[in-house]
Structure 1
Amino acid sequence: MLGKKMFAKNKFRTKLLFTSIAALALGACSPADQQAEISTALAKQVILPTYSRWVEADRALAASALAFCSGKADLEKARADFLAAQKAWAELQPLMIGPLAEGNRAWQVQFWPDKKDLVGRQVEQLVKAQPNIDATTLAKSSVVVQGLSAYEYILYDSKLDLANAETKARYCPLLEAIGQRQQSLAEEILGRWNNKDGMVEQLSKFPNQRYADSHEAIAELLRVQVTSLDSLKKKLGAPLGRQTKNLPQPFQAEGWRSNTSLKAIGASLASAETLWQGVDNHGIRGLLPAEQKDLAAKIDAAYGESKRQLAALDRPLTELLADEAGRKALNDFYDSLNVVHRLHESELAKALNIQLGFNANDGD
């Protein structure tokens, strides 16, 4: 009798041990843990390096303004450094989560859309009112004149002849102030990513003051992705005239003065795909289970088609808008962006059990 009791007790203990091991094994690959792993990988391998490149580009921009204004660099070099900063900013937009997305900071980097040429008008007003403006004073001024849109105006507007020494001297204090302002802003944001309890930790260790769990973090990353893809459509749709009865509006394009509208869209699209793919498949794509492989393939194909359409656009946006064939090619590209956007917004969100709600572009 005693032997039977001991056998039953040992059998129960063995069953309990196997149950515990099974639970641990399941827990090791639970959805929550996988989401935490992906969130951490994206923060450290994708998002943080992009913010770091943005800081370096803005440091170079600040130095470039000083070099140009002191006569140590020519206009071509100044423009090249601006284009590098603009590209770094475009790459950052699909990753605009945390401090940069708060307090109108994005408008301090770039003012768009500019439907009434506020940039040109306010730059002229500021140069006249404060001819010796510095970065500290600029930070208290309108966001319209603090960032890359105003910098672009000074370097590229056809009305400004920077080969003229008097004209150059007039605009250089603002150019230098914008460069210093952008460097300061970028360094501040990167610091808030790297600080203790900063964004890197908040996307890696749960719960925290921003996210109750890793699912909330992944949900916000997807919301940012969906918003950025919608913004790309707006940046193309506005100059295409999709809201103005198909009457092209070339001056509504981002970067129309420097003819970089499509390049900026391409940089943002590539960055969005990096968030989707991740490094070594540690991106949002990696969260889809095996039974969702068809959806993953559809999104892969949608990115591929959109990039193919963009690569075929071999002229600046303003030139493409000027003829029927160009407008058709742009509309085809817009449609491809729409496919990428809708797949993220509907099918991907549903597959990941994420409620997106309203995005930052709603109401625009």
Structure 2
Amino acid sequence: MKREQTLAIGLLSLLLSACDDPASQQIGVISTSDAQQEQVTRDLAQDVIRALHLRWQEQTGVMTKSVEDFCAGLSSLKDARFGFSQAADAWSFLQPVLIGPLAEHNLAWRVQFWPDKKNLVGRQVEQLLKKNPAPDVATLEKSSVVIQGLSAAEYILFDPSIDLAERATQSRYCPLLQSIAQNQQNLAGSVLAQLDAKDGLLTAFAAFPNERYADPMEAISELMRVNVTALDSLKKKLGTPLGRLNKGNLQPMQAEFWRSDLGLASISATLSASLALWQGNTHLGLRDLLKGSEHEALIPRIDAAFADVKQDLGAGGLGNALKDEAGRAQLNKLYDSLNRLHRLHQQELVTALGIQLGFNASDGD
């Protein structure tokens, strides 16, 4: 009888321990696999998702300061353009992790309007300035998303029809440019605060089950869907100006960030973020979920695919590369390596992880 009481007390202690563990949230002991999945979600949430949102918030601040200094005559147009490039780069890094507030509230359009096939950005910027020469942030927030974000700032800073070296031109465009930069900084700060909130995405990635996800693989599945879509988008961003998606017709003005010629830099940033999801930043990544499994042979193949894309990216801008045969040949090589990387994720990695992407998650060619 004493032995049975001891066993009962031991079992009760075990059950109570499991119930008290916020990482488990279930009766019983988590299997090693479940524990690893949960650790991966926690690591990716902090080391990648939050880190990239923080980077975005910081770089929109850099853009705001650079624009304010330029409009006050304290710095050069080159400095203002550099500030823009930093914010654009940080936004491109976010593409594989567009979950949480940016996705749930459809906020991405407020950051970037692309593709812009009919030059809506340029036309709406000019229309707004005719009606309101000095729109403030509050006015901008009530205006079309077309002119709230990076696309409108790029038009002002880089369009060849706008000579910001002229003081009169600066006076015309600076109020809107400053409001756009401040609007972006406010938006980035708000999104980061929502991520960090008690009921925010980061909390949902830390312990399961919760109101968002039943288990860690459900969270990983959503992240993978966004990541695969981002990789597919890279093919469109390169393939459209290159003519791969339109019967060989070059369309350089349909490239992302064509005015600033940051198209390849944007691809590089998005690729780096996708790589961080794969291998982890300072801790675990999706790669670790395959170790010791029957799918472990997929690891070096995806590693090699990332390395191939990085090598094929090279240096320089997309605009210049489109102008000559050698440049276009290199871009075609890059497109093919991007396609291989996308396919490995879309078909083989999701299968290995037991994920169903769904019909609309990615529709690559």
- 1:155-193 deviations in Å (ceiling 9; x for gaps): 111010111111110001110110110011001100001
Secondary structure, aligned partner of 2:68: helix
Query: Which ranges of structure 1 fall in alignment gaps of 5 or more residues?
Result: 1-5
Q: Is contact 1:133-1:173 (8 Å) kept? A: yes
Question: Is 1:213 the equivalent of 2:201?
Answer: no
Contact 2:92 2:269 in 1 (8 A): yes
| Counterpart mapping for 1:107-186 below 5 A | 107-186=109-188
1:233 is matched with: 235
**Secondary structure of the corresponding residue to residue 94 of structure 2:** helix
The aligned runs of 1:21-32 (5 Å cut-off) are: 27-32=29-34
> What's the CA shift for 1:211?
1.1
Q: How far apart are residue 280 of structure 1 and its match?
A: 4.7
- Indicate conservation of the 8 Å contact 1:253/1:261, yes or no: yes
The answer as to 2:329 corresponding to 1:328 is yes
Aligned-partner residue type, residue 111 of structure 1? F
Distance between the aligned counterparts of 1:297 and 1:125, measured in 2?
A: 53
Match for residue 340 of structure 2?
A: 339
Match of 1:306 in 2: 309
Write the letter of the residue equivalent to 1:353. G
Deviation of 1:318 (Å):
1.5
**Equivalent-residue separation in structure 1 for 2:29 and 2:312 (angstroms):** 43
User: Which residue does the alignment assign to 1:277?
Assistant: 279
For residues 3-62 of structure 1, the C-alpha deviation after alignment (integer angstroms, 9 at most, x for no partner) is: xxx9xx99xx8xx99xx9xxx9x9454322221110011001111111111101111212
Cα RMSD after superposing both structures? 2.3
Does structure 2 conserve the Cα–Cα contact (< 8 Å) formed by 1:223 and 1:359?
A: no
TM-score (norm 2): 0.90
Alpha-carbon distance in 1 for matches of 2:283, 2:59: 27
Whichever residue aligns with residue 46 of structure 1, its letter is: V
Moved more, 77-86 or 280-289: 280-289
Q: Judge conservation of contact 2:228–2:362 (CA < 8 Å) in 1.
A: no
1:293 matched to which residue of 2?
296
Give aligned-pair identity as a percent: 52
CA distance in 1 between partners of 2:90 and 2:284 (Å): 22
- Partner residue, 2:75: 73
Q: Please, what TM-score do these two structures have when normalized by structure 1?
A: 0.90
Please name the residue that 1:3 is paired with.
Answer: none
Q: Which residue of 2 aligns with 1:103?
A: 105
Structure 1 stretch displaced more, 101-110 or 36-45 = 101-110
Partner of 2:257, secondary structure, is coil
1: distance between equivalents of 2:283 and 2:249?
42
1:359 and 1:124, CA in 2 relative to 1: closer, same or farther beyond 3 A?
A: same
In the TM superposition, residue 68 of structure 1 has moved relative to its aligned partner by 1.2
- The answer to whether the 8 Å contact 1:232/1:337 transfers is yes
For residues 72 and 360 of structure 1, what CA distance do their matches in structure 2 show? Answer: 46
C-alpha distance in 2 between matches for 1:259 and 1:196? 40
Aligned to 2:24: none
Cα gap change, 1:362 to 1:342, in 2 (>3 Å): closer
- Give me the whole-angstrom Cα distance separating, in 1, the residues matched to 2:364 and 2:239: 15
Give the match's secondary structure for 1:293.
Answer: coil
Aligned 8 A contact 2:241 2:250 in 1: yes
Q: How many residues are treated as equivalent by the alignment?
A: 347
- Cα distance, 1:346–1:281 mapped onto 2, change above 3 Å: farther
User: Could you tell me which of 184, 188, 191 is aligned with 1:189?
Assistant: 191
Alignment deviations for residues 76-122 of structure 1 (CA, whole Å, 9 cap, x no partner): 11111111111111111111111111333111111111111111111
User: C-alpha distance in 2, partners of 1:235/1:101?
Assistant: 20
Aligned to 1:201: 203
- Other structure's SS at 1:73 match: coil
Asked if the contact 2:236–2:245 (Cα under 8 Å) also holds between the matched residues in 1, the reply is: no
CA contact (8 A) 1:227 1:359 kept: no
How many Å separate the matches in 1 of 2:305 and 2:29? Answer: 34
Structure 1: distance between partners of 2:282 and 2:186: 33
CA distance in 2, matches of 1:340, 1:147: 30
- Write the distance in 1 (CA, Å) between the matches of 2:313 and 2:237: 14
Structure with max Cα Rg: 1
> What is the one-letter code of the residue matched to 2:253?
F
Give secondary structure in 2 for the equivalent of 1:161: coil
- How far apart are the structure 2 equivalents of 1:329 and 1:59? 35
Letter in 2 for 1:92: L
- Structure 1 residue 328 displacement after superposition: 1.6
Query: Secondary structure, in 3 states, of the residue corresponding to 2:160?
Result: coil
Equivalent position amino acid for 1:52 in 2:
L
- Counterpart amino acid of 1:116? K
